[in-house]
Amino acid sequence: MAMHLSSALGDEGEWRGRECPVDTAASIIGSRATLLVIREAFYGTTRFDDFVTHTRLTTAVVSSRLKTLVEHHVLERRPYRDAGKRAHREYLLTARGEALLPLVLALMQWGSDQAPDGGPVRANDSASGARVVVEPRGGDDRPLDADRIVIEPAPAWTSGPDRV
């Protein structure tokens, strides 16, 4: 089972290298540590010490990942102050970060499906109790296998001398 590449893309080109959307996304969120920080942000974690505790990563790693996610507008940093305490910063998902929800759910689903016992957690619809399932769907709302997917040049990439 494989996706199909449009003949307009060919086998070579910048779209396979640094311009590839998968490569671009992976360069920002592709490490285990970064994904754990994003997971925690979806779980409602906002404070640095809580990110360290919940991810079991070092303070240096969490600091580095938070900095990267803020630089790429996945998280935003906001000041907060508890009564009688010094000011701190909290980290909140931006709209760009919230767009990662399908990815986080797909990784959770895949991880649970691979665990012999179904894993320790699963995502359920709070209204129906049914398991949340992430799957590709076409414009006709039918589930898609990779065989039905064609990777084509994006409209902005069809012009210019160095494009497709």
Query: Per the domain annotation, does 69 fall within a domain?
Result: yes
- 163 assigned to some structural domain: no
Under the banding of pLDDT at 50, 70 and 90, the label for residue 164 is very low
The enclosing domain of 46 has a CATH number of 1.10.10.10
φ and ψ at 133, to 5 degrees?
-120, 130
pLDDT recorded at residue 6: 82
19 within some domain: yes
161 lies in some domain: no
Question: Where does the chain show beta strands of DSSP type E?
Answer: 4-5, 75-81, 87-93, 150-151
Residue 27 lies in a domain: yes
* Residue 13 within any structural domain of the chain: yes
Model pTM score: 0.86
Sole residue written with tokens 């940093």: 77
Domain that holds residue 140: 4-155
Question: pLDDT tens-digit profile of 65-106?
Answer: 999 999 999 999 999 888 888 889 999 999 999 999 999 999
**pLDDT in the model for residue 134:** 95
Domain count, the chain: 1
Asked whether 112 and 121 are in contact (CB, 8 A), the reply is: yes
The CB density around residue 38, as the number of other CB atoms within 10 Å, is 22
Q: Is residue 160 domain-resident?
A: no
Rounded Cα distance between 96 and 118, Å, is 30
Per-residue pLDDT tens digits for 101-149: 999 999 999 999 999 998 899 999 999 999 999 999 999 999 999 999 9
| Alpha-carbon span 163 to 101, nearest angstrom | 31
Instruction: Look at residue 162 and tell me if it is in a domain.
Output: no
